[in-house]
Structure 1
Amino acid sequence: MTTTRAEVHHSHRDVTGGWLRPAVFGVMDGLVSNASLIAGVVGGGANNTAVTIAGLAGLAAGAFSMATGEYTSVRSQSEMTMAEIDVERREIARNPQAEEDELAQLYESRGLTPELAREVARQLHRQTDVAWRVHAREELGVDPDDLPSPWVAAGSSFLAFAIGALVPLLPFLLGFGSVLAAVLLTAAGLAATGAMVARLTGRSPLYGGARQLLLGSAAAAVTYGIGSLVGTAIT
């Protein structure tokens, strides 16, 4: 007797790899934070050299801070998840029948008949290595074989922040020293990034771009105002 493989008519993108969230957050944070920093320094009356130094310092400090934070948070989450999985593995080894009954009740609550739910649980518990993985997915909501990588999160966050933070700094690094050029580049970067993220998540690119442009502009305007007030008070 031959078995026929089911045809796969669609595919899914990787939504659990741990790179998208830190990358998106990193590039957005880099754009907004460094543009705001530069706006504040410019508002305070600093010259182009001071603005460039402040922008480079903001880029480096922010990129390393983002990478460190992402690595630590993802690593801590994975360690906590593995600790809970170990609890489940020990419980299955110590009291397998109770865990099998628990899994059967879970499947029954999801619509299976009591007889089918118990048979499915029994079949899955025939192999301990399969059983604890199923319990991890069903009870903890995680896939133990596909946990996000802290190194991927840290690396994508570092690169994304650096790229985002470089955009408003480019005119000063190239010697133009133009605040208008920095504003235009930042606005374009915010709109483009917001639209790209919206497209990835199935939202309207126009809405995503406009939303990010509005939020970033508001942050830069506030810091520019603060810089102007502080600069005036000092002078």
Structure 2
Amino acid sequence: MDGLVSNFALIAGVAGGQASRHVVLLAGLAGLAAGAFSMAAGEYISVASQSELAEAEIEVERLELRRHPNAEMRELAGVFEARGVDPDVAAEVARQLSRDPEEALEVHAREELGVAPGELPSPYLAAGSSFLSFAVGASLPVLPYLLGASSLWPAAVIAALGLFAAGALVSRVTNRTWWFSGLRQLTLGAAAAALTYGLGALIGANGL
């Protein structure tokens, strides 16, 4: 939806300025490429930073287990007690888990940090999925111009259908009806495009 809304709004703004088909197409392709690479880079940095932070916290936990094993075992027993396990049972479970340092590290990391060693998200996968998702959405309003269209209307129709379909799809994971989610996404996307079109038309009319 990001790719679809942002690139259709860009195309609408350029078309509103009475630009030629070639210029609108160039703007759409440039917006697709710039947006997709920007999303990929941003997602990569975000996920990589989160993974590096988690790895640093896991390493701190590993050092604590090595230096203060008894204290960490009592801490783990306390976690189980807080969940309603009897103190004696909690202490025994913590003792047995602590016999294997890697198993103890995994349990501590899951219970205290909410992550698990070896199961951190891949920044490459996140970047790739963001790139593809943005590119697919951004390509929809560009497609009519690639096929020879010289008017904004074919792109607007395809973008409207895409916006409604994407919004309706979101309703599968929410408690909203498909038509409400579809119309909401269509309305917001259309408003963004209309405002950008108006700005483009204003700038074009004044020869700026």
Alignment TM class, shorter chain as reference: over 0.9
Aligned equivalent of 1:79: 52
Do residues 104 (structure 1) and 77 (structure 2) align?
yes
What pairs with 1:118-133 in structure 2 (closer than 5 Å)?
118-133=91-106
* Counterpart residue type for residue 85 of structure 1: I
Aligned equivalent of 1:50: 23
Do residues 40 (structure 1) and 13 (structure 2) align?
yes
Q: Which secondary structure does the structure 2 equivalent of 1:167 belong to?
A: helix
* Counterpart residue type for residue 213 of structure 1: L
Do residues 146 (structure 1) and 119 (structure 2) align?
yes
Cα RMSD of the aligned pairs, angstroms, is 1.5
Aligned equivalent of 1:207: 180
* Counterpart residue type for residue 5 of structure 2: V
Do residues 173 (structure 1) and 146 (structure 2) align?
yes
TM-score (norm 2): 0.94
Q: CA deviation at 1:80?
A: 0.9
Q: CA deviation at 1:103?
A: 1.1
Q: CA deviation at 1:217?
A: 1.4
Q: CA deviation at 1:208?
A: 2.6
* Counterpart residue type for residue 122 of structure 1: R
Greater helix share, 1 or 2?
2
Q: CA deviation at 1:205?
A: 2.7
Q: CA deviation at 1:202?
A: 6.5
Aligned equivalent of 2:36: 63
Aligned equivalent of 1:224: 197
Q: Deviations along 1:165-222, whole A, 9 cap, x unmatched?
A: 1101111110022311111100111111122233255753333322221221121122
Deviates more, 1:181-190 or 1:218-227: 218-227
2:164 maps to which of 167, 180, 191? 191
1:91 maps to which of 44, 48, 64? 64
Q: Which secondary structure does the structure 2 equivalent of 1:153 belong to?
A: helix
Q: CA deviation at 1:233?
A: 2.2
Q: Which secondary structure does the structure 2 equivalent of 1:123 belong to?
A: helix
What pairs with 1:13-24 in structure 2 (closer than 5 Å)?
none
Q: Deviations along 1:69-123, whole A, 9 cap, x unmatched?
A: 1111111111111010000000000001111111111111111121222122112
* Counterpart residue type for residue 10 of structure 2: L
Q: Which secondary structure does the structure 1 equivalent of 2:206 belong to?
A: helix
**Alpha-carbon distance between aligned partners in 2 of 1:34 and 1:186, rounded to the nearest angstrom:** 10
**Alpha-carbon distance between aligned partners in 2 of 1:118 and 1:207, rounded to the nearest angstrom:** 53
* Counterpart residue type for residue 156 of structure 1: S
Unaligned runs of 5+ in 1: 1-27
Q: Deviations along 1:30-59, whole A, 9 cap, x unmatched?
A: 101100100111111111111001001101
**Alpha-carbon distance between aligned partners in 1 of 2:92 and 2:182, rounded to the nearest angstrom:** 51
**Alpha-carbon distance between aligned partners in 1 of 2:96 and 2:134, rounded to the nearest angstrom:** 48
* Counterpart residue type for residue 41 of structure 1: V
